[in-house]
Amino acid sequence: MPSRPNWRGTVSTSLSSAPVMGERRRVGETGDLVFAGLCRGAGGFVLLLLGAIIVTLFIGGLPAFRAFGVEFIWGLNWDPVEGREEFGAGVAILGTLVSSILAIIFAVPVAFGIAVFLTELAPPWLRRPIGTAIELLAAIPSIIYGMWGLFVVVPFIQYNIQLAFGEELAALPLVGFLFQSNNFAGTSLFAASLVLGIMILPFIAATMRDVFSQVPPVYKESAYGLGATRWEVMRGVVIPYTRISVAGGIMLGLGRALGETMAVTFVIGNANRIATSLFDPTNTIASVIAMEFPESLSGSLQQSALLAIGFLLFVISFLVLATSRWLLRPRLK
Amino acid sequence: MNRRALFGAAAALPFLPRSSFAQQATITGAGASFPRPLYDRWGASAREAAGVTLNYQSIGSGGGINQITSRTVDFGASDAPLAADQLRERSLMQFPTVMGSVVLSVNLPGLADNALRLTPETIVEIFLGRITRWNDPKLVELNRDIRLPNLPVSVGYRADGSGTTWVWTTYLSRISEEWRNGPGAGTSVRWPVGNGARGNEGVSNIIRNTPGAIGYVENAYAVVNRMVTTQIRNKAGNFIRPEPAAFNATAAAADWSVPNFAADTIDLAGGDVWPITSPTYILLPTNPVADRVEGSRNTMRFFDWAFRNGSDAARRLEYIPLPEAAHNAIRAAWAQSVKDPSGAAIWTPSAG
């Protein structure tokens, strides 16, 4: 359609200037208009919905923000006992960030290995089954991860790590304090991060595999032709070529880890105390909300504080995405 | 005309099945999860016997209070009683249905059920994180006949807001000034030590998986799951096993004549009472709107039937029925405080 008007252009002029097209053309124009309207509506709806959610959370959280001021963000006390309510999101925010970052640290190397194996090393007949298995991992509901975490990961940490060589770990110089804990129930920051890491693994691995396979073969072949080893090709050609998308995949995983609720609630120990050790229990924003929202009275300060930390979670997720965009901006050119 | 007739038929459709069950009334309630098994059992029996079908949603006490405050259900249910001013501003009355107990469960290798003896002082020190080993001299002193292992004490608690936590922390606040001024009593509190989990099943999972763990659970849950429980020393100084006789002693010792039935059943003075027992409550609007009057009447009919016929079912499910005097006081309160829009009492003893 060479004479197709720019869809932003004035439709009425194109109608009047092309009377020959007649009825049929007009039907097409109407269809275009309806289609464009629907698409704009859908796009606008998303924005409206997002805005409405933020506003609702903020208004709901306003009494808590008023009562505690900015200190709400780093305050460490979370005391819902009636008559002396005091709320601070510090522990939950810290727990959310630390557990998500640890999950990224656990997941990225493995995801990288999977992606390299699938794109460079695996025989072709093995790529499909492994690729499908990775995608299936992403399809497992988070409550299943929670149950698996509680019945498998937590006892494993208890018996095979903490009881087996926890004291040796705690005696390590410099990093020993990370393993020094009086908590022997197994539900801990470490368990939560491990489960989270496995949950976000498929997202990161799938993104990495897709972008690695999009590297033009000619680049890689040139490098191999120059005598580069596989590792040198990965490091010198594939990773520089794909780092933006790789970072994007990691951010996708981080975003999912920040808001994960059920699986984390099962294994993190739900204690409003800062974890000074990997084996200490702590809390995340999502798990506090999941635990306390059903019993909070409507209109109470507790419910307001829960909505307020929900708002903060929203802001954190937004900041994470914005930061990643900002970090990547110079390289986008 | 044709279309209108069609609409008419469609609108009438939902009402057709109902007309054939005209005598069967449905009541809806929402709230505490602790009494749900019993209300479900009562509901199943009352469908035939009293002509009332119960639809009970166990969404938690807080949710039950919210729902009855906004009048979206016929009754709410809460483990903790509401204070007099809370009842007044929501135009609600409350009455207890049954009682339940909270027990301590432990995981110590080779320990027999109800063998471990604990005093209020040691319990508070454990939950404040001051007794950290099971071979602590204070525990050894109390349990000369048990070889207590050198295991770390791992405290388990309910992380979700719950009536069980309210009962347990009320008990701790009652026996210890330090706890009262520290964490205090509520459906969720600031725990100084330990791990939180969701529900009785979550706490029992911590206890089962962790040698040296201790946590509080509903007695009914502990009995059904054969958990190892402990003796606790009551106010009179006797070590009490968490058994039906001790629970019934508590129900009999409680004073049900207090306003709003907010009877104090925690740490009573009697010689053989279990110290951690609490009633669970039903919340009923005192001024139901016209189209909720029938639901209000049927709710009272339902519980009247349950008080007369449901005590055995309650006992089988490990709940503690209220004494007859309490039942009568509750019926009197219905007649006195629940009024229809014209100001007449909705409940009259003959209506049951």
CATH number at residue A283: 1.10.3720.10
Chain B contact set for A281 (CB, 8 A):
194-196
Report strand pairing: B277-285 vs B92-106.
antiparallel
**Is the predicted pLDDT of residue A92 greater than 90, yes or no?**
yes
The two three-digit tokens of residue B223, written as one number: 């009995």
* B334 pLDDT above the threshold of 90: yes
The predicted structure's pLDDT at residue B344: 87
Distance of CA A41 to the CA centre of its chain: 27
Q: Please report whether residue A63 resides in a domain.
A: no
Residue B352: predicted pLDDT: 45
Residues A168, A291, single domain; the answer is yes
Residue, of B23 and A270, whose pLDDT is higher: A270
Region B290-304: mean pLDDT is 92
| Gap between the Cα atoms of B212 and A164, Å rounded | 16
Closest partner residue to B206 among A185, A265, A294, by Cβ? A185
d(CA B159, CA B189): 9
The reported pLDDT for the residue numbered A169 is: 86
Q: Are residues A136 and A225 in the same domain?
A: yes
> What pLDDT was estimated at residue A328?
60
Averaged pLDDT, B280-298: 92
Contact A54, A63 (CB under 8 A): no
Question: Is A60 domain-assigned?
Answer: no
- At B174, the amino acid letter reads R
* Amino acid B104: pLDDT: 96
CB contacts < 8 A, A to B, total 99
Helix (H) or strand (E) holding A55, with range, is helix A22-68
Look at A94-98, A241-245, B8-12, B54-58 and tell me which has the smallest mean pLDDT: B8-12
How far does the CA of residue A139 sit from the closest CA of chain B (Å)?
Answer: 25
Q: What is the maximum alpha-carbon separation in chain B? A: 90
Quote the tokens at residue A272: 């409003």
The per-residue pLDDT of chain B, averaged, comes to 89
Interface touch B198/A187, C-beta < 8 Å: no
In-domain check, residue A325: yes
Residue-wise pLDDT for B66-123, tens only, equals 999 999 999 999 998 999 999 999 999 999 999 999 999 999 999 999 999 999 999 9
Domains of chain B: 3-99+278-351 (3.40.190.10), 102-254+267-277 (3.40.190.10)
Q: Is residue A197 located within the same domain as residue A133?
A: yes
A-chain residue closest to B207, CA distance: A185
What pLDDT, on a 0 to 100 scale, did the predictor assign at position B14?
45
CB count within 10 Å of CB A259 equals 16
| Same-domain check for residues A26 and A97 | no
CA–CA gap between residue A144 and residue B87 (Å, rounded): 41
For A242, the enclosing helix (H) or strand (E) is helix A239-259
Q: Are residues A88 and A50 in the same domain?
A: no
> Which residues neighbour B342 within 8 Å (Cβ) at sequence distance 6 or greater?
none
Q: What percent of chain B has pLDDT over 70?
A: 92
pLDDT score recorded for residue A320: 82
Please tell me the pTM assigned to this model.
Answer: 0.84
- By the 8 A CB rule, do A292 and B188 touch? yes
Angle, helices A189-212/A239-259, rounded to nearest 10 degrees: 140
Task: Say whether both A51 and A146 belong to one domain.
Answer: no
Are A220 and A327 members of one domain?
Answer: yes
Residue A29 corresponds to which tokens in the numbers above? 């124009």
Min Cα distance B156 → chain A (Å) is 8
Calpha distance A94→A275 (Å, rounded) = 9
- CA nearest neighbour of B107 among B219, B199, B205, B201: B205
For residue A326, tell me if it sits in a domain.
Answer: yes
What is the model's pLDDT at position A76? 92
Overall number of domains in chain A: 2
Residue A261 has pLDDT above 80, yes or no: yes
Amino acid at A34: V
What torsion, rounded to 10 degrees, do the Cα atoms B339, B342, B348, B352 define? -90
Smallest Cα distance from A154 to chain B, Å: 9
Are the C-beta atoms of residues A244 and A331 closer than 8 Å to each other?
yes
Grade residue A27 by pLDDT with cuts at 50, 70 and 90: low
Task: Give dist(CA A257, CA A154) in Å, integer.
Answer: 19
Give B189→chain A minimum CA distance, Å: 6
Are the Cβ atoms of A297 and B160 closer than 8 angstroms? no
Instruction: Report the percent of chain A where pLDDT is more than 90.
Output: 56
Task: Tell me, yes or no, whether A69 lies in a domain.
Answer: no
Do both A80 and A48 map to the same domain?
no
Residues A182 and A288 in one domain: yes
Q: Which pLDDT band holds residue A329 (cuts at 50, 70, 90)?
A: low
Per-residue burial over B202-212, b = 16 or more CB atoms within 10 Å of its CB, e = otherwise? bbbbbbbbbbb
Residue A254 to residue A96: CA distance in whole angstroms? 11
Residue contact B161–A186, C-beta within 8 A: no
3-state secondary structure of A77: coil
> A306: Cβ–Cβ under 8 A, 6 or more apart, which residues?
A288, A289, A292, A293, A296
Q: What does the pLDDT read at residue A13?
A: 46
Q: SS3 for chain B, per residue?
A: CHHHHHHHHHHHHHHHHHHCCCCCEEEEEEECCCCHHHHHHHHHHHHHHCCEEEEEECCCHHHHHHHHHCCCCCEEEECCCCCHHHHHHHCEEEEEEEEEEEEEEECCCCCCCCCCEECHHHHHHHHCCCCCECCCHHHHHHCCCCCCCCCECEEEEECCCCHHHHHHHHHHHHHCHHHHHCCCCCCCCCCCCCEEECHHHHHHHHHHHCCCEEEEEEHHHHHHCCCCECEEECCCCCEECCCHHHHHHHHHHCCCCCHHHCCCCECCCCCCCCCEEEEEEEEEECCCCHHHHHHHHHHHHHHHHHHHHCHHHHHHCCCEECCHHHHHHHHHHHHHHCECCCCCECCCHHHC
Task: Give yes or no: residues A190 and A302 share one domain.
Answer: yes
Residue of B8 and B139 predicted with greater confidence: B139
Is there a contact between A295 and B69 if contact means CB atoms under 8 Å apart? no
Q: Per-residue confidence at B22, pLDDT binned at 50, 70, 90?
A: very low
Judge whether A150 is closer than 8 Å to chain B, CB to CB: yes
Quick one: A25 and A138 in the same domain? no
pLDDT reported for residue B17: 43
- Which region among A123-132, A181-190, B21-30, B108-117 has the lowest average model confidence (pLDDT)? B21-30
Minimal Cβ distance to A84: which of B65, B184, B198: B184
Alpha carbon distance A139, A64 (integer Å): 37
pLDDT category at B158 given cuts 50, 70, 90 is very high
Phi then psi dihedrals of residue A224, to 5 deg = -60, -40
Q: What is the reported pLDDT for B2?
A: 52
Secondary structure letter of residue A6 according to DSSP:
P
- pLDDT of A183 > 50? The answer is yes
* Residue range(s) defining the domain that contains residue A265: 74-332
- Tokens for B174, please give them: 């009652």
pLDDT in tens, B243-279: 999 999 999 899 988 989 998 899 999 889 999 999 9
CB contact under 8 A, A184 and B154: yes
Sign of CA dihedral B161, B166, B168, B170: positive
Judgement on whether residues A23 and A122 belong to the same structural domain of the protein: no
Interface residue A21 vs chain B (CB under 8 A): no
Percent of chain B with pLDDT over 90: 74
- Using pLDDT thresholds of 50, 70 and 90, give the confidence band for residue A247: confident
Q: Is the pLDDT of residue B289 over 80?
A: yes
